[in-house]
Structure 1
């Protein structure tokens, strides 16, 4: 009886162990960027001993490790599979352009296409690395085209075409007697326009005579003065030039860098002279200005009275000097003619009795005698020349007495 119980217990233990050993597994957890293979993707539980496989997601490829795991007593073996991003590699080459890969060339990355200067993009500027490789077609870079440039009055350009490509150049020219003002050439630029934007013009260039007051032409071109005609100018004697001597007729029919001026030579103030002065007394003098010298009282001028500002900025001739006049002594001789006068008794009231009174008397007598002498001379003259009341004298040939 005891043996029977023992055998029954062993059987129960064996059955229990078998039940425990046969426990299944739930749905396994995949690694990064992978999933169960198609045959197992819908199952939620798996019996003990079941093997399942993983596959990498689209855009990813196996980087190594077994894709299979096994359910053992309710647990899955560890996942060894590694899934890595798929690389699309180079997208290729773009003629007259280039491709940039900001991040890389793996799944999900993008390529950016740009064109060289003077070319424009036809297509998408970005493509992406997908499951099947780079998505879409590569764009192309086509050369920029320009319409013909503008025409100009009294001129033309060449070559003449329906359209022009990037960097094509046209040359402008003018008709006879006209000069091109501006750039002689223009080129098709990267934005589809000719540059420079403003075309040149054809102008008639003729400069006027280079007349400068107190100046003169000394060398160079003669009239008419066209573009680039060059002359050399100079100032007359006594004038200095302010500006450039050489002048060229420019595109604006003007003398370049600009006609000079001829300004009078300036002389500094002349030196003063001892015992004299000059006028006008200015701070400076212009060419041909004249100053006059004079001397102080009792002095006389020796040399030229005037001096002139000359072309060498000095006064000519040499300055004069003031010489002192010589001192002269004047002697006066007085002659007194004695006159007989009768003496009168002296008295307190008789002024002639004094020395001064006697002198006055002598003067009065002299004046009276002088008057008598003048009257006598006049009468003799009238008689001699038969003037007035005197009778005419008879000559010896008349027969009468003399």
Structure 2
């Protein structure tokens, strides 16, 4: 009984010197059915699974080692290649390789459409690897080009494939409206469609175009049919609104509409800080208009500066000289035998000066004057006259004056007259000594 127990323990997995079931490989399987355990030195052989091939020089065997493990093995089977798939007028694309299990996608050349699945896989079929399905690329066909009235199709092909052209012409005297040539192209679902509708043949005549205040640059004939173009330019002094080129369209009308040539006008002349226009100018002025400015009171034109601006060919005013008006000046006042205060070399508008005379001279005129906007002193300058003594005041019959006993009389001095008893005074009772050395007139008189 002890002998049977020892034999049983040796047969258990993991027992010393005993290997469990052989390793599993994704690419191979044991040639014979696997046992529950293997004695040291036991060998298990493998064969490659379908889709795999044995590597040259590699053994497909594993051995049970004395430590109850199987000998290590590297991959001894490799994937079989399917080879490049063949698709006429197309190509394939892959992100890996072309070995067993790989997947490729297909595309067609321009003008062809894919018929069949868009991808294929390298699979085992009848013991060999091959692509499970390869589509085809068929050329795109367009339906016959449409016919047109009063015209004909120039191409007589039975089939129209991608890229082929169909051209049309019209009967004599008619214009072809649309595309004279249309092309077979690809539409939705990779179906063949024509690039544009068939053209029309119709009679098109546009009137001879004329633009007021302008002239033609091209298209000088008087008869114009579909597609004819005419270009224009405006006369000097006018600007164009609209397109300079128009085309005769299918409705016998010019498109875009004919342009207009509008007179070029300058806006209001610019405002200057110290000047105003000499003539009335509105909100618009034709080219060549000249505007002259005059300086406002207190200012005068500077020598060598222009006061004229002109409406230029670009409908803008020429730049005015901002410095042609300068503050007005009065000449330095001179009073012979007198003095001016304050004394300066020049005086600006609204400056005021006062006057005084030298000793022995008397002021005749205003004591002050102001520089006016017209560069003149206002009031006019005074004079300093030499002072002359007056003689004794004249006698008045039946009267007397209070200057009796006075040694002398000079300008500005005055005397007062009174009448004797029984008489009364007629006239101004006072007379003054004037700069001329004479007494003011008239003198009074005493009447009784």
Cα distance in 1 for residues equivalent to 2:107 and 2:234: 64
Of 247, 250, 259 in structure 1, the residue corresponding to residue 248 of structure 2 is 250
Partner of 2:201: 202
Q: Would the alpha carbon gap of residues 268 and 139 (structure 1) be closer, same or farther in structure 2, given more than 3 Å must change? A: closer
Partner of 2:81: 88
Q: For residue 146 of structure 1, report the CA deviation from its aligned partner.
A: 0.9
Conservation of the 8 A alpha-carbon contact between 1:166 and 1:192: no
Conservation of the 8 A alpha-carbon contact between 1:62 and 1:82: no
Partner of 1:35: 29
Cα distance in 2 for residues equivalent to 1:145 and 1:207: 40
Cα distance in 1 for residues equivalent to 2:109 and 2:72: 50
Cα distance in 1 for residues equivalent to 2:239 and 2:120: 74
Conservation of the 8 A alpha-carbon contact between 1:119 and 1:144: yes
Structure 1 residues 66-215: aligned runs within 5 Å: 66-70=59-63, 75=68, 77-80=70-73, 82-131=75-124, 132-136=128-132, 138-190=134-186, 191-212=190-211
Of 34, 37, 57 in structure 1, the residue corresponding to residue 49 of structure 2 is 57
Q: For residue 107 of structure 1, report the CA deviation from its aligned partner.
A: 1.9
For the residue of structure 2 that corresponds to 1:113, the secondary structure is: strand
Aligned residues, how many? 262
Cα distance in 2 for residues equivalent to 1:285 and 1:48: 120
Q: For residue 141 of structure 1, report the CA deviation from its aligned partner.
A: 1.2
Q: Decide which structure has the larger Cα Rg and report it.
A: 1
Conservation of the 8 A alpha-carbon contact between 2:65 and 2:71: no
Could you list the runs of 5+ residues in structure 1 that have no partner in the other structure? Answer: 1-14, 270-278, 288-311, 313-402
Conservation of the 8 A alpha-carbon contact between 2:18 and 2:40: yes
Q: Deviations over 1:158-199 (max 9, x none)?
A: 313343111111112222222222222111113333332333
Q: For residue 79 of structure 1, report the CA deviation from its aligned partner.
A: 4.8
Cα distance in 1 for residues equivalent to 2:281 and 2:62: 126
Larger strand percent: 2
Conservation of the 8 A alpha-carbon contact between 2:123 and 2:129: yes
Q: Deviations over 1:233-270 (max 9, x none)?
A: 877xx98464589765523433466434455687999x
Could you list the runs of 5+ residues in structure 2 that have no partner in the other structure? Answer: 12-16, 269-278, 288-312, 314-448
Cα distance in 1 for residues equivalent to 2:219 and 2:89: 55
Q: Would the alpha carbon gap of residues 245 and 187 (structure 1) be closer, same or farther in structure 2, given more than 3 Å must change? A: closer
For the residue of structure 1 that corresponds to 2:206, the secondary structure is: coil
Cα distance in 2 for residues equivalent to 1:109 and 1:218: 69
Q: For residue 119 of structure 1, report the CA deviation from its aligned partner.
A: 0.8
Root-mean-square deviation (CA, aligned residues, Å) is 4.7
Q: For residue 32 of structure 1, report the CA deviation from its aligned partner.
A: 2.0
TM-score for the superposition, normalised by structure 2: 0.46
Q: For residue 25 of structure 1, report the CA deviation from its aligned partner.
A: 5.3
TM-score for the superposition, normalised by structure 1: 0.51
For the residue of structure 1 that corresponds to 2:91, the secondary structure is: strand
Cα distance in 2 for residues equivalent to 1:145 and 1:81: 55
Conservation of the 8 A alpha-carbon contact between 1:234 and 1:245: no
Q: For residue 28 of structure 1, report the CA deviation from its aligned partner.
A: 2.9
